[in-house]
Chains A and B, each alone.
Chain A
Amino acid sequence: MITRFLAAIAGLTLVAATCTDVAAQSPSRAPILSGPLAKLDIKDAQIQTAKGKPQGTLTIAQHFGLDPGWLDPLEHGYAITQMTYDYLVHDAMIKPMPQGEFTYSLAEQAEMTADFLKAAFRLRPGLKFHDGQPLTTADVKWTYENFKGFYSKLFRDKLEHIQVVDDRTIIFHFKQPFLEFMDLYNGGVSGIGWIVPRHYYEKVGRDGFKAHPIGAGPYKFVSQQAGVQMVFEAWGEYWRRTPATKTIVVKGISQLAARVAGLETGELDLAFGMTGKLLPRVMQDKNLRWVPNYTSVWYLMFPGYNEPDSPFHDKRVRQAVSLAINRQFLARQESQGIGKVWGNWISPENRDAVKGDGTELPLPEFNPEKAKQMLAQTKFPNGFDFEWYVPFVPYLDMGERVVTDLRAVGIRGKLQAVEGPAFRAKIGQGRKGYPGNRTIVQNIDPRPGGAQAPISVYAVCGSPASFVCEPPIEELWAKHQTSRNPEERDRLIKAIQKVLIEEYYMVPMYWNPFVHVVGPRVLPEGKGFERYWDTLHAPYPWPWEVWEVKADK
């Protein structure tokens, strides 16, 4: 009886503690802007008031050589990997968090006028950088004005002026309606919303900042060996919560085998990008745990398909290609079956993506006989030779499997194995990157910014990397670009996706798992660690302040 009573008391205490520890912050919000406002769906930050003591070391393997440039948001590229370091050292006005793709972070309030000509933010009170200096709207303004990264021209061109109302309130005035502003200013899409300390940056300069950055994020930068290792330490004064892990060490390890060996020996606690032949080894190891971490969809494109002498000019040929691919087998070989056959080339994590699971777009069919029948109706009843199948590097095995499937229905071609930089350089030129018009390109692109982002790159005529240029799509795209109605914009983007799939301009294969693995030091033990991957549309387990590990021995 006494035991039950004590247990009940303990339970109630735990519930009470949980309620006080984590609270969604909903400050009273006096309006900043006057007149009608656009509807924004930005979630409140969850602030954990109870301060625990950070403990232990989390050693992470990044699957590239580390670039000190990643520590500088002012030169933020499109590369999503950089955001891993943003989430460590810096903080953004709004950013993706587990509770939503748009979540208040440094800002506690954001507004946008209904005509999309003004955007305003109010910073939460008492913010500061790692060196103790206050973070104010002057830093926000300076960051915007000095941003040189991806989308910088767009942000510059659209801006009329920035009005600093006070230390916590700032208003951006635009020359013309800037509908995408909140999408692009979000920390999950570009670097401009990650706030850099003006006083420090001007003092140490660009190189000095990259060598030893400071920010307002949960972890303070400690040291680095360029390309090899970076060390970060918990910053106890982070506004949202005290980070749970004391030290985070990131190592640049490009070789998959080395990452697997490091996990098996316990030298690593978290590694990214497990795939292919080594994936079963990781899955069978009792000391390791893994998450599928679905990111983007593998798909095929046909550069030059719209030229009349291309065999892929005929929709039925493109359809035959799609019918010939045994996607289930591919997913089993490449990802031990955890990859999901998918009917759209855009990841369903994008809020404006059309679902490719059979509900909104059909699951692609594997039917070699039907593929042969389709070909028989074309100019190529006995099949044809195409020039090259260019697989995404280094997934050459997958490329071989697709080439074999295609050969089985009479579509015969060779695999062109190029190295990574050459592949990226070619695909960056779009159709122009591939001579002739008998090539199939295999791609994957975990691009932030919603479905409109990959469409704007690969599927509209004006893009430097355009592979698809079709009048019906251009018409829809032009409407989308001029529309101020968010619902209409979503509708138009979905219509474009349907055209791309139904006409087989893009041939999706499967939704790729970018498998991540953790070692035994990561808490909680057993199940439950998957919560670190709760942030939507994040290929990495952000935010870092919630990661818990066992104390160092």
Chain B
Amino acid sequence: MRRYILVRALYSLVTLWLLVTIIFGMVRLTGDPIQMKGEVGADPVYLEEIKKRWGLDKALHQQYASFIGKLLQGDFGHSFEKSLSVRDIYFERLPNSLKLGLAAFVISIVLGVPLGMLSALRVNTWWDNVGKMIALVGLSMPGFFVGMVLIIIFGIELGWLPVLGKGGSALVWGSPSTWLTFWFRDWLHLIMPAFALGWYFSGAMLRITRSGMLDVLGSDYIKLVRLKGVPERMVVAKHALKNSMIPVLTFAGLNLLIMVNVAVVIEVIFNWPGVGQLLYDGLSNRDFPMVQGVVLMSGLMIVMLNFTIDVLYGYVDPRIRLSR
């Protein structure tokens, strides 16, 4: 098992190194950030000074070595556009993304899983048709559209909910009193963006829960349980639900990471200060360090999640760790 974990850890490190290298190269193909900062007609000497300040005057391999060297010390560099440390900006934004992502995640689970179960249990009935319709609408109505409709109805017409930003609360790492209060304040600001983000994923959750449940309900061991005369309620709650949840939870975990890291459109529409908007701004402004930092952190989360899942699978199923 130890060897298995070490091999998986090595794979994860290689994946991260590849990611770092690819993003380092790709972001440099997007254009020249100096022209962005210097603006039209800038003195070439002034542009050279900016280039030097940003370390872009060095050869590519030197830039890469410097980037990796700093990275190993936990330094993502300085944002070209926002002029401060990428790490500081990222960790200032991360709690906002986590708050939005978790709320959207809860909405997607609360809406998607029960409806998916209901659809599976009442397959080919009116309930199932309603469930399928909700899933279809959820998957085909993009989050930005839902967001705009919500803004018009609940923000502008009814005036019930604020439309901009996350409110005044902030999680400040140096201030422990905010670590807890942050999550429970400014809920009104959270409702619309969380719903707009969670809505799409609830459709997907509904579909995967329904198909997982149907698979399990049609399996031999469920037939056996039923033959034994176990009440249907127990069949569903104790035997079917548990087993059908394995793919749902795996999918939900990945969804959560996506919601935290790449809710770009929703963040832009609601002016929600999350990491997705950082990535958007970084790409728009050719802010290499920012793009590298945000992509690296997202990749790190995914790699860590996959590593954890691999290790858990190894524990749960000895065939997996023995076969590798």
Contacts and interface: CB of A to CB of B under 8 A. Distances in A.
Q: Which of B93, B162, B164, B285 has the most CB of A within 10 A?
A: B164
A264 B40 contact: no
A265 B46 contact: no
Contacts of A264: 155-156
Interface string A184-224: 00000000000000000000000100110000000000000
A68 interface: yes
Interface string A251-292: 101110110011011011000000000000000000000000
A150 B42 contact: yes
A262 B164 contact: yes
A419 interface: yes
Q: Which of A151, A262, A445 has the most CB of B within 10 A?
A: A262
A448 to B, nearest CB: 12
B151 interface: yes
Contact of B42 (A258, A420, A428): A428
A78 B45 CA distance: 14
Contact of A226 (B82, B170, B269): B82
A265 B156 contact: yes
A69 interface: yes
Interface stretch (A367-375, A381-389, A456-464, A482-490): A456-464
Interface string A417-428: 001111011011
A495 interface: no
Contacts of B273: 225, 227-229
B85 interface: yes
A159 to B, nearest CB: 15
A401 interface: no
Contact of A253 (B42, B46, B78, B271): B271
B151 A261 contact: yes
Given A153-B45, A419-B284, A229 B40 contact: no
Contacts of B269: 255, 257-258
Contacts of A148: 49
Contacts of A56: none
Contacts of B74: none
A225 B162 contact: no
B175 interface: no
Nearest to A153: B45
A255 B81 contact: no
Interface residues of B, number: 47
A523 interface: no
A424 B40 contact: yes
Given A226-B89, A420-B284, A150 B271 contact: no
A153 B84 contact: no
Interface string B72-100: 00000011011111001100110000000
B41 A456 contact: yes
A421 B286 contact: yes
Nearest to A458: B41
Given A68-B84, A258-B164, A421-B285, A225 B170 contact: yes
B42 A251 contact: no
Nearest to A268: B164
Interface stretch (B1-9, B29-37, B134-142): B29-37
Contact of A225 (B42, B46, B92, B155): B92
A335 to B, nearest CB: 23
A424 B286 contact: no
Q: Which of A65, A68, A254 has the most CB of B within 10 A?
A: A65
Given A69-B83, A262-B164, A226 B38 contact: no
B164 A253 contact: yes
Interface string A496-531: 000000000000000000000000000000000000
B155 A261 contact: yes
Interface string A141-175: 00000001111111000000000000000000000
B165 interface: yes
Contact of A465 (B31, B40, B49, B79): B40
Q: Which of A226, A267, A457 has the most CB of B within 10 A?
A: A226
B163 interface: yes
Nearest to B283: A421
Nearest to B281: A65
Given A77-B39, A148-B49, A428-B40, A258 B159 contact: no
Contacts of B41: 78, 428, 447, 456-458, 463-465
Given A225-B273, A227-B278, A229-B165, A68 B82 contact: yes
A167 to B, nearest CB: 31
B35 A425 contact: yes
14 contacts: A65-B82, A78-B41, A153-B46, A207-B83, A226-B79, A226-B89, A255-B271, A265-B155, A267-B164, A425-B32, A425-B35, A428-B40, A428-B41, A428-B42
